[in-house]
Amino acid sequence: GMQLLRRNDYPEGRFTLAFLGYGGEAENTVLELTHNWDTEHYDLGNGYGHIAIGVDDVYAACERIRASGGKVVREPGPMKHGSTVLAFVEDPDGYKVELLSED
């Protein structure tokens, strides 16, 4: 079955990310699970949060998306409690897609 590939705790943000998969992250699909430490109610909405796609250069990917008429809803930059560079874009139906790269 799937293995825990890595786990990142973010005490300042009060959350943990767990990455599960069948092999290395660069070669395989990876499932990211988020655990929010606090017990506040979490609105699940329609059950969809977002998907994430690893890219070589988040900044360049956002420029290509914008130049093609796409919508960038979170400009590229480092994540709040880490060094991973990420951005969020929306597909034509309004679903969020995260773009990320390790810095």
Please check whether residue 101 is in contact with residue 60, taking contact to mean a CB–CB distance below 8 angstroms: no
Q: Specify the CATH number for the domain of residue 99.
A: 3.10.180.10
Shared-domain flag, residues 31 and 57? no
Confidence at 103, pLDDT banded by 50, 70, 90? low
- Known active-site residue 98: yes
Reported pTM: 0.68
Shared-domain flag, residues 58 and 99? yes
At residue 64, the pLDDT reads: 96
pLDDT tens digits, one per residue of 21-53 = 999 888 888 888 888 898 777 777 777 888 888
Helix (H) or strand (E) holding 28, with range, is: none
| 8 pLDDT above the threshold of 90 | yes
Please check whether residue 21 is in contact with residue 2, taking contact to mean a CB–CB distance below 8 angstroms: yes
Number of domains in the chain: 2
Candidate list 27, 90, 98, 102, residue with the active-site label: 98
Nearest to 74 by CA among 92, 9, 82, 66: 66
pLDDT tens digits, one per residue of 48-94 = 888 888 899 999 999 999 999 999 999 999 998 888 999 999 998 89
At residue 61, the pLDDT reads: 96
